[in-house]
Amino acid sequence: MTAIDYRGAPVAASRPVAAGRRRLLTASALPLIAAGAFYLVSPPALDTPSVIDLTQVAARAAPIAPAMLPTAQQEATPENVEVTVQRNDTLDRIFRSVGIDNATLAELRTVPDVRKAIDILRPGDIITLTHADGVLQTLNRRISETLTLSVSRATDGFAVNFIENPLEVEVTGARARIESSLFEAGRDAGMSAQTVMVLANEIFGWDIDFALDIREGDEFSALYQRKFQDGEYVSDGRVLAAEFVNQGRTHRAVWFESADGAVRGYFTPEGKGMRKAFLRAPLDFTRISSKFNPTRRHPISGKVRAHRGIDYAAPTGTPIWAAGDGRIEFAGRKGGYGNTVIIDHGRGITTLYAHMSRFGKGSRGGRQVRQGELIGYVGSTGASTGPHLHYEYRVKGVHKNPASIPLPNTEIPTRYATEFRSQAEVMLAQLRLTNGQPSQQLASR
């Protein structure tokens, strides 16, 4: 077995580099070397550590311009290959398909950090390789959003580098006005679809019904992070503060994370949790097919019979979630309700979910469930005219309209009140600036 120099090798030890023929595997091949993605560490120190300190190695890595590389004659033209990992791919299979000797892989695996960095492959990962006649020259693999493994052949073995590619985060504010759709308005204001989803689901989804309540003329703004790498936009980051004016009513929220990490989430400027103790709707529904109505005529019997819940139309198989934390009081067949789950949430509150096609794995009487946990799937069992969820919310045995009852809040614990106020003030002040100006970069950090 050839010894592997963990610290890398002097430049002269590396094979000459030329713009090689490119071969297409599953994605377009990139000119790896020409792109300058070639890094070597300084000549090896005398003491070779058994473990690579990633930060140290990365810090010492310095880019070497292609022009500085040796120009000696070469035996074979290196070939650049970019491989996109497919489901069930292994590195052995990839090496074989490229025509690289499997002994090379065994050799690479003897370096502990390399082994860790190459053995776990996820579909969609990209590995770039160069080889000359099946002899591996370089291997690059993105390990995370900010770290790339770079291996290149050295005199005896391989030079290994972990290249850090940090993200730069800037804070941006944007304001949008809804003309036709929430997502279009967000996009026109420069927000990603992901940021709009966070606004609708995580932040305001508890107070605003995004399926029913959104109107033309509604406005929203957000103070949020944008991530860049090498000066190029990567993705939106966390939403730090946001405002939504829905039918003239203003909702405001701010992100808070306590220094000790114990409290994190979105809160109103007054410190009340945006997340409520109950979900407004316990599923992703297509429409409300029957509202809470104490004097409704029943669709099957034709008699006037109160509809003491809400019917949410959704395709059979749509997941149904526990509306709040609690204990399953009943899970089974229940007359006209069909397959039914009843959850006891304490303080006299129970919720009921009827007509399920089947139950969730954990839906058994006596079991504790968390808010949002899957308890069953939409169906049409019992007295039902089509697939829907019949949902009831009862307080001390009295049916309430789940669409309009005020849902209990959570609050910032008093010992975090000061920390919360100081953080919230800064972000809300920046959000106010955003509201005055359509879109503006507010700060970099």
C-beta closer to Zn ion: residue 15 or 390: 390
Q: Which residues pair with 341 in a beta bridge?
A: 331, 353
Task: Give me the residues paired with residue 352 across strands.
Answer: 342, 392
What x/- string results for residues 386 through 405 when contact with Zn ion is judged by CB under 5 A? ----x---------------
Cβ neighbours for 270, distance < 8 A, ≥ 6 positions apart: none
| Residue with the two structure tokens 């002899």 | 135
- How far the first Cα of the chain sits from its last, in Å, is 48
Chain centroid to CA 199: 14
For residue 314, give the H/E element and its range.
none
Compare residues 5 and 311 and give the one whose CB is closer to Zn ion.
311
Of 234, 168, 154, 224, the C-alpha closest to 191 is 224
Is residue 184 within a helix (H) or strand (E), and if so which, with residue range? helix 182-188
Interior CA angle at 297 toward 294 and 303, to 5°?
110
Q: Distance between CA 395 and CA 365 in Å, rounded?
A: 20
Pick the closer one to Zn ion by CB: 226 or 394.
394
> How many chain residues touch Zn ion (CB under 5 A)?
2
> In this complex, which beta carbon is closest to Zn ion, that of residue 109 or of residue 298?
298
| Per-residue binding letters, 275-314, with Zn ion (x by CB under 5 A) | ------------------------------------x---
Closest separation between CB of residue 364 and Zn ion, Å?
24
Q: 158 or 321: whose CB is closer to Zn ion?
A: 321
Burial (CB < 10 A; 0-12, 13-18, 19+), residue 113, is middle
Show the site string, 308-337: x = touches Zn ion by CB under 5 A, - = not.
---x--------------------------
Least CB distance from residue 375 to Zn ion, whole Å?
17
Considering the rule CB under 5 A, would residue 218 count as an interface residue with Zn ion? no
Return d(Cα 392, Cα 359) in angstroms, integer: 17
Pick 82 or 311: Cβ nearer Zn ion? 311
CB of 377 to Zn ion, least distance (A): 17
**CB of residue 406 to Zn ion, shortest distance in Å:** 22
Nearer to Zn ion, 226 or 390 (CB): 390
Report, in Å, the least distance between residue 90 CB and Zn ion.
51
Q: How far is the CB of 357 from Zn ion (least distance, A)?
A: 16
Give the type of residue at 276: K
Paired sense of beta strands 22-23 and 79-84, if any: parallel
Residues 351-390 that bind Zn ion (CB under 5 A): 390
**Residues found near Zn ion in the complex (CB under 5 A):** 311, 390
